[in-house]
Structures are given as structure tokens and as C-alpha cells.
Structure 1
Amino acid sequence: MIKILFISCIFSSVLIFSQIKAKIVKVKDGDTVVALLSGNKQETLRLADVDCPENGQAFGKNAKQFTSSQVFGKTVIFYRIGKDRYRRTLAKIFYDDEKYLSAEIIKAGFGWWYFQNSRNIKLKEFETFAKEEELGLWSDKNAIAPWDFRKAKRNKQRKEIL
């Protein structure tokens, strides 16, 4: 029994981190895309390591446009690393000779390093550079992190209910 559990754990981790080739057919927002897999199956991918402004937030459309300019219609390589609370696949996406999409978004100033869920310290350096250079959303001195924006929106909705 222990052998079976051990083998199944190894096999499932290989599946989770296997390389997948797909075409990006939709960009939902700056950090969420839809990939077309073999067999015409679509899968929604939430980018790992980055959090972009929400669609209704300042720079949300800019973040979506940037992501679209980088990967829409392109064939990419991605790695599944888990699921988020909305059951979307968390993924690391690579394109154009191994560019890491999350890093490119942060470097361009269209997303925050999602430090709560990422151990990739290099992304913090990219964020600091973008902030110092006032790139993208960092041109706004009062830029609000998406997690704070979502929290404020939830609090407002709760107050409206009461």
C-alpha cells in the first residue's frame, strides 16, 4: 500500500509540473488567459507570481493590453503549478525564446510581484526597478495593489447590503 501511495505521489507531481504547449486564444485580464490545448480543449490559466490591476481598476485595461501584446495568438509553453480558489489553473507561462510572462508584466510596470504566493525574489527586483522608473502603473503615485482594491470593493459591497 505504501509503495502505491509513493508511486502515485511521484506520478502526480510529474503531471503537475509537466511542460505543455498551447496557443493563447483569449486574454481575460492582465494575469488570466485562456489556452487552447490539443484536442481543442480550452484551459483558463491564472499567472503565477504576479497580480495585475483588476479590469475596473486604474491600469487594469493597460495590463490586459500588455499581456495581450505579449502572448495573444502565440504558442506558449506553460507549467501547471496548482489551482486557485476559483479552480483556475495556476501556471508559469513562457514565450518567445523563454521569456517568463509574469516577469515581463512586472518589468513593464503592469503588475505587482505577488509576494504572498511567490518565492521568486528576482521579481521583487523587477518591481522595484519599474517603480523607480515610474513605468506603467507606477506613474501613479497612489497606485493601489489589486488585493487592496478587491478588499475595499468587498467591504463596500458588505456595507451596501447592510
Structure 2
Amino acid sequence: MKKLIYLLTFLKSLFLFSQITAKIVAIKDGDTVVALLDNKAQETLRLADVDCPENRQPFGKNAKQFTSSQVFGKNVTFYRVGKDRYRRTIAKIFYDNEKYLSAEIIKAGFGWWYYKASKNFKLKDVEILAKKKKLGLWSDKNAIAPWDFRKMKKTAKQNLAK
């Protein structure tokens, strides 16, 4: 039984951390894309390390456009690093000579370093620099992090239901 558990754990790690090449065929929002795999299957990828404004938030459409300008229609390399609560694949996506998409989004000021789930502390410095330069969403001194925006929307819905 222990051998089976070790084998399953090993196979899962191969699945999660293997390098995959795919073409980006859709952009759902700033931090979620759809990849077309070699077998013609599509896979929704939620970007690791970053959280972009929701489409309904200020700069949400800008974040989506930025992501589109970087990877739409391009072949990328990605690594699966997990699944989120919606069962989307969390992925680290690289393109154009190893640019890391999440870092590029944060650097341009269209996303927050997602410190709640990320151990990539270099991205904190990237965010601080974008903030100092007032890039993208940082030009708005009242910018609201997407996790706070979602919480506010949830609270408002609950209050309406009462």
C-alpha cells in the first residue's frame, strides 16, 4: 500500500511540474487564460503569483488587454503548480524568451503580487517599484485589491438578501 501511495504521489508531481507547450487561444481576464494543448484539448490556466482587478473593477479591462497583448495567439511554456477552488489549473506561464507573465503583469501595474498564495518574494519588490512609478492601477490612489473587491461584493449581496 505504501508503494502505491509513493507511486501516485510521484505521478502527481510529474503532472504538476512538467513543462508544457501550448498556444493561448483566449483571455478570460487579466489572470486567467485558455491554452490549446498539443492534443487539441483546451485548458483554463489561472496565473500563479498574481491577482488582477476583476473585469468590473477599474483597470480590470486594462489588465485583460495587457495580458492579451503579451500572450494571445502565442505559443507559451507553462508549468502546472496546482488547482484552485474552482478546479482551474494554477500555472506559471513563460513566453518570448522566458518572460514570466505574472511578473510582467505586476511590473506593468496591472496586478497585485498575490502574497496569500505566492512564495515568490521577488514579486513584492516588482510591485513596490510599479507602485512608486504609479504605473497602471497604481495611478489610482484608491485602487482596491481584487480580494477586497470580491469581499465587498459578497457582503453587499448578503445584505441585499436580508
TM normalised by structure 1 equals 0.98
Can you list the C-alpha shifts for 1:2-52, whole angstroms capped at 9, x where unaligned? 222212211221111000100000000000000001121000000000000
1:42 paired residue number:
42
Tell me the residue number matched to 2:16.
16
The aligned counterpart of 2:57 is: 57
Give matches, 1:80-99, under 5 Å.
Answer: 80-99=80-99
- Whole-angstrom CA distance in 2 between matches of 1:26 and 1:161: 35
Q: Which residue of 2 aligns with 1:135?
A: 135
Q: Map 1:60-71 onto structure 2 (within 5 A).
A: 60-71=60-71
* Whole-angstrom CA distance in 1 between matches of 2:114 and 2:92: 13
When normalised by structure 2's length, the TM-score is 0.98
CA deviations 1:30-82 (Å, max 9, x no partner) are 00000001121000000000000000000000000000000000000000111
Q: Secondary structure at the match of 1:57?
A: coil
Structure 1 unaligned spans of 5+: none
* Aligned Cα root-mean-square deviation (Å): 0.7
Q: Tell me if 1:126 matches 2:126.
A: yes
Mapped to 1, the partners of 2:141 and 2:12 lie a distance apart of 45
Give matches, 1:66-81, under 5 Å.
Answer: 66-81=66-81
The sequence identity of aligned pairs, in percent, is: 70
> Any runs of at least 4 consecutive aligned residues in structure 1 with deviations exceeding 2 A, and if so which?
none
**Secondary structure, counterpart of 2:39 in structure 1:** helix
CA distance in 2, matches of 1:54, 1:4: 42
